[in-house]
């Protein structure tokens, strides 16, 4: 799994044409995958302080990527929710990462190596099927 970790690190370091810093992207992705959450829940999940998460959420809210609303089940809590603009920026960043990776593969591997890589990824896909499959 060193390869996976290395790939993720390089993608973050190269920034891959993304428009959000990684911590903001991570919060949006967590909301996309897990649904609405409190700032405290997000902080625990991302292993940062609630104060630091509050700053991230405030920045994302100011940009229109998230909205805060009262929790219908507990009026003392405020939930952070992904907005349509947040979904759009996640999709744009995901597309930028895919383009970055495709360019990297095209630059580093010849046609035969690319076929081998595609076959290996298909096999790995059997171990880790997409969510909802």
Tens digits of per-residue pLDDT, 35-56?
Answer: 999 999 999 999 999 999 999 9
Lookup: tokens for 99: 């383009």
pLDDT for res 132: 62
Task: Report whether pLDDT(65) > 90.
Answer: yes
Mean pLDDT, residues 97-112 taken together: 92
Distance, C-alpha 49 to centroid of its chain: 19
The alpha carbons of the chain give a radius of gyration, in whole angstroms, of 18
* Rounded Cα gap, residues 7 and 44, in angstroms: 25
The CA dihedral of 63, 37, 24, 133, to the nearest 10 degrees, is: -110
Q: Domain residues of the chain, as ranges?
A: 2-127
pLDDT for res 29: 95
Longest Cα separation, the chain: 59
Mean pLDDT of the chain: 90
The CA dihedral of 94, 118, 108, 1, to the nearest 10 degrees, is: 70
Mean pLDDT, residues 101-111 taken together: 94
Percent of the chain clearing pLDDT 90 (strictly above)? 65
Class of domain 2-127: mainly alpha
Residue of 103 and 1 predicted with greater confidence: 103
pLDDT for res 4: 79
The model's pLDDT over 121-131, given as tens digits with 9 standing for 90+, comes to 999 899 988 77
Pick from 1, 78, 63: nearest CA to 28: 63
pLDDT for res 6: 82
Task: Report whether pLDDT(133) > 60.
Answer: no
Pick from 127, 109, 129: nearest CA to 1: 127
């Amino acid at each position: 799994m060193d390869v996976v970790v290395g790939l993720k690190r390089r993608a973050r370091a190269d920034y891959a044409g993304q428009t959000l810093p990684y911590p903001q992207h991570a919060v949006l992705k967590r909301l996309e995958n897990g649904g609405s959450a409190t700032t405290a829940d997000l902080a625990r999940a991302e292993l940062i302080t609630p104060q630091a998460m509050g700053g991230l959420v405030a920045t994302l809210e100011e940009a229109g990527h998230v909205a805060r609303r009262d929790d219908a089940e507990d009026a003392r809590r405020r939930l952070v929710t992904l907005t349509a603009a947040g979904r759009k920026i996640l999709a744009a960043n995901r597309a930028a990462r895919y383009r970055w990776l495709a360019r990297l593969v095209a630059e580093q591997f010849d046609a035969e190596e690319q076929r081998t890589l595609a076959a290996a990824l298909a096999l790995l896909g059997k171990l880790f099927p997409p969510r909802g499959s």
